[in-house]
Each structure stands twice: as C-alpha cells, then as structure tokens.
Amino acid sequence: MKTFFLKTSVILFIITCVISCKAQILPLNTSLDDIPANAHLKDLNNELLSYVGNYKTNFQGNNIYLFITKVEDKLEKSANKNYYTDALIIKYIVKNPSGIVLQDTQNMVLNDQTFFNIVSMGIRPASGSVTFYYDGTNCGIGWGKIILKKLNATQISWEYRPNSLIIDSVTCPPSTNKTVYLPVTKDLIFTKQ
C-alpha cells in the first residue's frame, strides 16, 4: 500500500511539473498586463505574413528600401517579466539620388546594437495596420513609432512619428552622424518588389 501511494505521488508530481512547465500560447494583441511570464504571443491568424517582403519608395530624391521579415518567439523583456512573441522586423537601406548608401541596417543583427532596431509592437486587424517601435539612429535620435498600413497585395502606407530629433553633445559625441535618414512623413507609399 505504501508503494502504491509513493508511485502515485511521484506520477502526480511529474504531471504537475509537465503542465506547469508548458508554455502558455496567447494571441498577438494580448495586453501586457494579461501576459504571464514566459508566455508565447503567437500570430495565430497569420496576420503578419502579408507584410513580409521587400519594398521600395522614393522620398525627397532618396530611394528607401524596406526588408520586412517575420521572427517567431522573439524574447521580450519588460520590467516585470519576460515573454516571447512573433514579430515583424524592418531593416532598411537609404540611398541618395546618386546611388550612394546613406544608411544600411540590412546586415545588422537584431538587438546586438542599441539603436536602429525596428520591431512590431502590435497589429490592428480592423484597420489593417501594424505599429512598430524604432530605437532611433545614432544616440537614439529619432526614436519613436512607425505605422504601416496594408493598402493592397503590393503596397503599404508608411507613417513615422519620431519622439525626439534633438540631442545635445553631452548625450551624443559631436562627431556622431545625427541624421535621421528614414522619411519623417505620413501616407508615404512603398511598393513590394
């Protein structure tokens, strides 16, 4: 009888461990307050896939190329907890009218650098838009929000709302390139290539 209870206790303990260790899967737009530690926010309806691709536009003479990819289970760290999420990542190249590269983030590794990261924060299926957080360029200049709206199968609309374009020499060395090359505008159309 004692052996039976011991075996039963061990089996129940193992089952409890397996259940509690299993990651909780939640939809992408789950509120941060409702996300338990180590949960996974998943693109359950494949809403992010329609944005994936290479896009191009011209703004004030510069050619801008966006390279949008989807990553799964990207680690997000908040003040209170860590969790994983499916996300869109934007890398880009900006070339002047002569074809000279002004800025290129295409070969940068996400989160290996402090700035230049553009990562989706949420999707609004009703409006067909995705909101991104942009770390800004050197010294964080231009950090803010980028909103992409799907217009059709080949076009997206771009809106960039920088929170800060001003920096002083105390927080950023004078020799640093402080130019924000991304277009600070609304309703700019990018076409899929």
Q: Which residues contact 48 (CB under 8 A, 6 or more apart)?
A: 28, 70, 86, 87, 88, 120, 123, 130
1 located within any domain = no
153 located within any domain = yes
Given a contact cutoff of 8 angstroms between Cβ atoms, the answer to whether 146 and 158 are in contact is yes
Dihedral of the alpha carbons of 100, 94, 179, 146, in degrees to the nearest 10: 180
| Structure token pair of residue 164 | 């800060």
The residue whose two tokens read 């011209």 is: 58
Please check the confidence at residue 22 and state whether its pLDDT lies above 50: yes
Amino acid code (one letter) for 62: N
**Which band of pLDDT confidence, cut at 50, 70 and 90, is reported for residue 172?**
confident
Residue 2: the pLDDT is: 59
pLDDT in tens, 65-109: 999 999 999 998 877 889 999 999 999 999 999 999 999 999 988
Residue 18: the pLDDT is: 44
Distance, in Å, from the CA atom of 47 to the CA atom of 117, rounded to the nearest integer, reads 21
Distance, in Å, from the CA atom of 81 to the CA atom of 26, rounded to the nearest integer, reads 15
Residue 95: the pLDDT is: 98
180 located within any domain = yes
- Determine the average pLDDT of the residues in 7-36: 69
Given a contact cutoff of 8 angstroms between Cβ atoms, the answer to whether 47 and 182 are in contact is no
Which helix (H) or strand (E) is 13 found in, with range? helix 2-21
**Which band of pLDDT confidence, cut at 50, 70 and 90, is reported for residue 6?**
low
Tally the domains of the chain. Answer: 1
pTM of this prediction?
A: 0.83
Distance, in Å, from the CA atom of 120 to the CA atom of 74, rounded to the nearest integer, reads 11
2 located within any domain = no
Question: CA nearest 144: which of 129, 165, 130?
Answer: 165
Q: What does pLDDT average to over the chain?
A: 87
7 located within any domain = no
158 located within any domain = yes
Q: Name the residue range of residue 60's domain.
A: 24-192
Given a contact cutoff of 8 angstroms between Cβ atoms, the answer to whether 85 and 74 are in contact is yes
Please check the confidence at residue 43 and state whether its pLDDT lies above 80: yes
Angle at CA of residue 94, ends 90 and 98, nearest 5°:
160
Distance, in Å, from the CA atom of 156 to the CA atom of 170, rounded to the nearest integer, reads 38
11 located within any domain = no
19 located within any domain = no
Question: CA nearest 160: which of 136, 128, 124?
Answer: 136
